[in-house]
């Protein structure tokens, strides 16, 4: 059995064998959760012994209940989740292929299950900080990125209209995607560390789009090259507070230690 602490949810499309930089696949498994089955997940192990679970991920409306994926991470014993998404750049400083780190988010989704707490009497789960500070710092330290930004989560598959793109920019949105919300809030409810990385696949509808394939491929490759350093950086001891978001609820007797089982 693995001691992998990290699950990588891959919502970008990569050429075959690209992830060999993280080491060979040493295990595969499917996890049955009360929200559906998740898998097959692949466990990769680097020569330094750093393990990471990998799960291809799609925000299509037809996907599995997003609660299943986060619960599977918890059941596997992974305490950190990195979601690598392909997004739409709203901020004109972001170009096709550039990666950016999610530092905050706006929830514009309407159709997806948003909570594990349908009957537990939990009335508020704080979103401050909205992402894991330790994982986000590791992303900035190891990946050559355009910067950090505000992510707007939408349902899809339809793209934003020109009018919406202008409105989102006025809201302070830097990028739009379909895979990081509500996963980010569900991870908080499970007290998992969560970070989001977005590679810009398109420019928003109100912007002139530039050259197509080359820039995107180069941007994806730059992240892949840095992933081993990122995984290795997370073998450091935990310094963030993501693991005790629900302590107040436990003190009030609303939640058992293992309520999620
Ligand atoms: Zn954390």
pLDDT tens track for 8-35: 999 999 988 999 999 999 999 999 999 9
Q: How far is the CA of 159 from the centre of ligand 1 (A)?
A: 31
Spans of all domains in the chain: 6-251
- Among 153, 137, 184, smallest CA distance to 87 is for 153
Q: How far is the CA of 115 from the centre of ligand 1 (A)?
A: 19
**Assigned CATH class of 6-251:** alpha beta
Q: How far is the CA of 213 from the centre of ligand 1 (A)?
A: 34
Q: How far is the CA of 150 from the centre of ligand 1 (A)?
A: 18
Q: What is the pLDDT of residue 71?
A: 95
CA distance 82 to 139: 10
pLDDT confidence band for 260 (50 / 70 / 90): confident
* Residue 109 vs residues 74, 168, 193: alpha-carbon distances, Å: 24, 14, 22
Q: How far is the CA of 103 from the centre of ligand 1 (A)?
A: 13
Q: How far is the CA of 243 from the centre of ligand 1 (A)?
A: 7
Q: How far is the CA of 131 from the centre of ligand 1 (A)?
A: 7
- Among 58, 23, 19, smallest CA distance to 38 is for 58
Q: How far is the CA of 8 from the centre of ligand 1 (A)?
A: 15
What average pLDDT does range 75-96 have in this prediction?
96
Q: How far is the CA of 56 from the centre of ligand 1 (A)?
A: 22
Q: How far is the CA of 90 from the centre of ligand 1 (A)?
A: 27
Q: How far is the CA of 171 from the centre of ligand 1 (A)?
A: 27
CA distance 241 to 188: 11
CB 88 within 8 A of CB 175: yes
Q: How far is the CA of 81 from the centre of ligand 1 (A)?
A: 9
Q: How far is the CA of 77 from the centre of ligand 1 (A)?
A: 14
Q: How far is the CA of 194 from the centre of ligand 1 (A)?
A: 6
pLDDT exceeds cutoff 70 at 1: no
pLDDT exceeds cutoff 80 at 61: no
CB 195 within 8 A of CB 139: yes
Q: How far is the CA of 191 from the centre of ligand 1 (A)?
A: 8
Q: How far is the CA of 205 from the centre of ligand 1 (A)?
A: 34
Share of the chain above pLDDT 90, in %: 71
Using alpha carbons only, give the angle 241, 8, 22 rounded to the nearest 5 degrees: 115
Q: How far is the CA of 136 from the centre of ligand 1 (A)?
A: 9
Using alpha carbons only, give the angle 140, 145, 147 rounded to the nearest 5 degrees: 75
Please enumerate in sequence order all residues whose Cβ is within 8 A of that of 251, keeping only pairs 6 or more positions apart, or say none.
none
pLDDT exceeds cutoff 70 at 70: yes
| Tally of CB atoms within 10 A around 167 | 13
Comparing 49-58, 179-188, 192-201, which segment has the lowest mean pLDDT? 49-58
For the segment 44-55, what is each residue's pLDDT rounded down to a tens digit?
998 888 899 999
């Amino acid at each position: 059995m693995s001691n992998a602490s990290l699950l990588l949810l891959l919502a970008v499309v990569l050429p075959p064998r690209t992830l060999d930089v993280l080491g060979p696949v040493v295990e595969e498994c499917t996890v049955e959760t009360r929200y559906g089955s998740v898998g097959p997940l692949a466990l990769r192990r680097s020569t330094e012994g750093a393990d990471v679970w990998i799960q291809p991920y799609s925000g299509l409306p037809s996907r599995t209940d997003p609660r299943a994926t986060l619960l599977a991470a918890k059941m596997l014993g992974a305490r950190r989740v990195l979601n690598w998404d392909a997004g739409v750049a709203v901020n004109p400083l972001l170009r096709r292929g550039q990666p950016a780190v999610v530092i905050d988010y706006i929830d514009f989704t309407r159709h997806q299950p948003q909570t594990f707490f349908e009957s537990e009497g939990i009335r508020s789960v704080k979103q401050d900080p909205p992402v894991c500070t330790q994982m986000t710092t590791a992303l900035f330290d190891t990946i050559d990125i355009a910067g950090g930004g505000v992510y707007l989560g939408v349902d899809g598959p339809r793209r934003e209209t020109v009018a919406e793109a202008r409105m989102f920019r006025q809201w302070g949105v830097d990028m739009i995607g379909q895979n990081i919300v509500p996963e980010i809030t569900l991870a908080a409810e499970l007290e998992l560390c969560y970070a989001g990385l977005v590679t810009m696949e398109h420019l928003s509808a109100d912007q002139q789009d530039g050259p197509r394939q080359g820039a995107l491929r180069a941007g994806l490759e730059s992240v892949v090259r840095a992933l081993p350093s990122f995984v290795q950086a997370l073998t450091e001891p935990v310094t963030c507070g993501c693991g005790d978001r629900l302590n107040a609820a436990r003190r009030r007797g609303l939640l058992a230690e293992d309520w999620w089982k």
